[in-house]
Amino acid sequence: MNWLDLVGWAGSAVLVWSLLQTRILRLRALNLVGCLVLIGYNGARAVWPMVGLNVVLALINAFYLRRLLATRHDERAYAVVEVASGGGMVDHVLDAHAADIARFNPGFTRPAGGLAFLVVSGDETVGVVLVRDAGDGVAEVGLDYVTPRFRDLTPGEFVYRRSQLFVSRGFRRVVSPRGMLSPYYDRIGFRHDGDHYVLELGG
């Protein structure tokens, strides 16, 4: 097997690996890389139908990647809906994703009462944020969960962007969950404070 064949196999492996991803942004990015490698390989082998196929797939991936990146911080792409914290849709989301929630929030236990927000994209629920009143104007986040497909897009940030959701209830500060794996809070205005992150609210 020569080096060119190794390139072809590597491109095919990346393409297959991309299809195993649950995160849509990562799937598109890896698929694009695999397509570009295979364009080069098939071009060197003069297999033009496969070049054409991979060019089309690369363009499709590039189009959707651009759209995903352009809308990841766009409030028109997501809606935040306040719901009852116990029962109904919240319990359904928590039950459906219990194993994944435990993986990223090892200390999480379902709270009694508090505030609950669902983050939705169209008719799909992509995240849930549970908050409790910790006293002294502090809103403590018990859970900030995003489904695997949307995890690279951090849609939970839209809950915190709308600070009026908290300010109108007398909160002056939002505190992130302690021990959360792969937190993203430093990218949306929170400051790191020990084992958690803090967002100071104006007003």
Give me the mean pLDDT over the 183-195 stretch: 83
Look up the CATH number of the domain holding residue 165. 3.40.630.30
* pLDDT tier at 203, thresholds 50, 70, 90: low
pTM of the model: 0.76
- 88 and 154 share one domain: yes
- 90 and 176 share one domain: yes
49-59 pLDDT per residue, tens: 999 999 999 99
**pLDDT score, position 41:** 95
Give me the mean pLDDT over the 185-192 stretch: 84
- 61 and 146 share one domain: no
C-alpha–C-alpha distance, residues 138 and 142, integer Å:
12
- 84 and 23 share one domain: no
> Contact 55/29 with Cβ under 8 angstroms?
no
**pLDDT score, position 163:** 55
**What is the domain range of residue 133?**
79-200
- Which of 71, 89, 116 terminates a domain? The answer is 71
- 40 and 112 share one domain: no
Give me the mean pLDDT over the 20-43 stretch: 94
- 43 and 138 share one domain: no
- 131 and 54 share one domain: no
151-186 pLDDT per residue, tens: 887 777 778 876 577 888 889 999 988 777 767 888
Give how many domains the chain has, as a whole number.
2
Which tops the pLDDT comparison, 12 or 114? 12
- Which of 55, 71, 87 terminates a domain? The answer is 71
pLDDT beyond 70 at 6: yes
* pLDDT tier at 48, thresholds 50, 70, 90: very high
pLDDT beyond 90 at 71: no
How distant, in Å, are the alpha carbons of 15, 114, 168, 199 from that of 176? Answer: 37, 15, 19, 8
What stretches of the chain show up as alpha helix (H) in DSSP? 3-19, 24-44, 48-71, 88-96, 98-104, 157-161, 164-167
- 141 and 157 share one domain: yes
- 124 and 34 share one domain: no
* pLDDT tier at 72, thresholds 50, 70, 90: confident
83-103 pLDDT per residue, tens: 887 778 888 999 999 999 988
- 83 and 144 share one domain: yes
Q: Are strands 173-175 and 196-200 parallel, antiparallel or unpaired?
A: antiparallel
